[in-house]
Amino acid sequence: MRFRTLPSGRSARCIGALICASIAVCAQPSAGQATLAIRGGRVYPISGPPIGHGVLVVANGKIVAVGEEGKIKIPRGATVEDATGKIVMPGIVDSHSHIGIIANPLAEDSGDANESSGPIEPGLRAMDAIDPADPNIRMATAGGITTANIMPGSGNVMGGQTAYVKLRGNTIEQMLIPGAIGGMKMANGENPKHYGAKDKAPMTRMEEAALARGIYEKAAQYRAKWEAYNKASAAGDKTAKQPDRDLDLEPVVEVLEGKRTVHNHTHRADDIMTALRLSDEFHYHLVVQHGTESCLVVDELAKRHIPVSFTIVDSLGGKFETINLDLGCPGTLEKAGIKVALNTDDPITSSRLIIRQAALAVRGGMSEEAALKGLTIYPAEMLDLGNRVGTLEPGKDADFIVLSGPPFSVYSHVLETWIEGQKVFDRSNPQDLRYATGGFGVADRLPASSRGGN
């Protein structure tokens, strides 16, 4: 097979943009306008039971109808795609990813996830470091991911504001989801302790918690100051002095006000309890990220209704806090009524393998139904996007994927990925296939036999 050669890197993207400029469909990341009907496939709406021979109708980037074939009217003029023998399900939501912010390859200058100059960095925004051209993003669409929570790393107690994005567009502005301000990354346990090596705080878990409490107290004070000022000026008090704006504390206030969810990297059971203790004290929305030992504190999570965005890897270890990794944990959490998402933590696991993450949870004892929800609606809810993505229901964004076979089979492939009614990945396209199977540079490389020589 021969592939069209393009110069590598940025220049290739410019050429790509020029080619696209003349084709309406790829000129803009805006919602697809045409009406499309996918018929004949087995449809997993997630909001209800699977439909044996289903129809999905989308228009203007939204889902118009979902149901059994014959019962759903396919609008006249709709483009009809036959999905007989295939699976149609919602686009996958990765609730823990670093695509674009830890770009491929993992060279030193392409890692922007950890601002290791200070442990409390709420003013940082992931959006200011995400490279929309990172090949990892296209690889994620090849894995069926349509929405992601792209986060700063776990090197800081408070690592910065996360970005809730759709995996389309050439700028971060085009990727961001309107109205979604993103979350706040926190971390406890081993990773933030690296400051100890520089003779800086924190070097213990005690200090990590103290630093976290400190920033929340400060933000609470800041909020009180503004409230007092707003109240006074509303009452016509001309002498009221407006407090200085603090870009670090504003997003922390959003956490305290329940507008911004905390995504807390936490593995060990006692660290999970510390995360719970902080969220109890400051009444914020918490998602336990990783949750390696969450089964050991399952009751504590269940009674607080704290969801877990679980990370599965092939073997235990690599660091102390993952030494008790247990494939059975997601299933145990499910049985306790806890909502569990399965994430990639890309680059820890390639985004192309996100369905495998959930399949391994099934191997460990989770039900297939919960595992499908753990790829779709549960992570969507963890990002407060449950009303927009995560199921196939009329009115929701037309984000869906087409699979070649049963979702949790190793032999199944993602054939197509659609975001808001536009196809962003098509396995039958050789260039797209490279992103599904090959490394980031593969599209630029040719086998030696094709390059001549030998």
Partner 1 sequence: MRTLRWFTLLLCVASAPGLPVQNIAVLTDHLYTMADGAQGGPGMVLIRDGKIEAVRPGPHQSSPDGYTVLKAAFVTPGLIDTDTTAGISGAFNIPADQDQDEATDPNTADVRTLDSFNPNERLLKVLNQYGVTTVQSAPGPRNPIAGRAGIFKTAGIGSTPATVEQLAVREESAMVFNLGETPKITYGKKEKAPTTRMKTAEIIRHELSDAKGYEEKWDKWKKDGADVSKQPSRDMKLDALVPVVDGKLPAIFNAYRADDIDTAIRIGTEFHLRYLLASVTEGYLIADPIRRAGVPCLAGPVMQRFESLETANATFENPAILKRAGIPVALMTGYESYVPKNRIVLFEAGVAAANGLSMEEALRMVTSDAAKILGLDDRVGSLAPGKDADIALFDGDPFEYTSHIVAVLTSGQLSYQRSK
Footprint of partner 1 (CB under 8 A):
104-107, 313-320, 322-323, 325, 347-350, 353, 356, 359-360, 362-363, 406, 408-413, 436-442, 445-449, 454
Q: How far is the CB of 72 from partner 1 (least distance, A)?
A: 29
Q: How far is the CB of 325 from partner 1 (least distance, A)?
A: 8
Q: How far is the CB of 108 from partner 1 (least distance, A)?
A: 11
Q: Which of 165, 44, 43, 38 is nearest to 95 (CA)?
A: 165
Q: Which long-range contacts (CB under 8 A, 24 or more apart) does 433-440 make?
A: 434/3, 435/135, 435/138, 435/139, 435/141, 435/142, 435/352, 436/139, 436/142, 436/143, 436/352, 439/104, 440/104, 440/105, 440/135, 440/136, 440/139
Residue nearer to partner 1 on the CB measure, 232 or 446: 446
Residue 403's CB is within 10 A of a number of other CB atoms, namely 23
Q: Which of 152, 156, 336, 186 is nearest to 261 (CA)?
A: 186
Q: How far is the CB of 102 from partner 1 (least distance, A)?
A: 10
Distance (Å) of CA 421 to CA 33, 91, 99, 146: 8, 11, 23, 11
Residue nearer to partner 1 on the CB measure, 123 or 438: 438
In angstroms, how far apart are the furthest CA atoms of the chain? Answer: 84
Please state, in angstroms and rounded to a whole number, the distance separating the CA atoms of residues 401 and 81: 13
Q: How far is the CB of 349 from partner 1 (least distance, A)?
A: 8
Q: Is 90 within 8 Å of 406 (Cβ atoms)?
A: no
Residue nearer to partner 1 on the CB measure, 109 or 244: 109
Residue nearer to partner 1 on the CB measure, 274 or 344: 344
Q: How far is the CB of 352 from partner 1 (least distance, A)?
A: 8
Q: Is 340 within 8 Å of 370 (Cβ atoms)?
A: yes
Residue nearer to partner 1 on the CB measure, 376 or 422: 376
Please state, in angstroms and rounded to a whole number, the distance separating the CA atoms of residues 10 and 16: 10
Q: How far is the CB of 192 from partner 1 (least distance, A)?
A: 16
Q: How far is the CB of 103 from partner 1 (least distance, A)?
A: 10
Please state, in angstroms and rounded to a whole number, the distance separating the CA atoms of residues 312 and 322: 10
Distance (Å) of CA 268 to CA 263, 309, 329, 334, 338: 15, 14, 13, 19, 18
Length of the chain in terms of residues written: 454
Residue nearer to partner 1 on the CB measure, 248 or 368: 368
According to DSSP, the residues that pair with 290 across neighbouring strands are 266, 310
Please give the distance of CA 18 from its chain centroid, rounded to a whole number: 30
- Helices and strands (DSSP H and E) totals, the chain: 14, 18
Residue nearer to partner 1 on the CB measure, 183 or 331: 331
Residue nearer to partner 1 on the CB measure, 2 or 238: 2
Residue nearer to partner 1 on the CB measure, 122 or 143: 143
Q: How far is the CB of 84 from partner 1 (least distance, A)?
A: 19
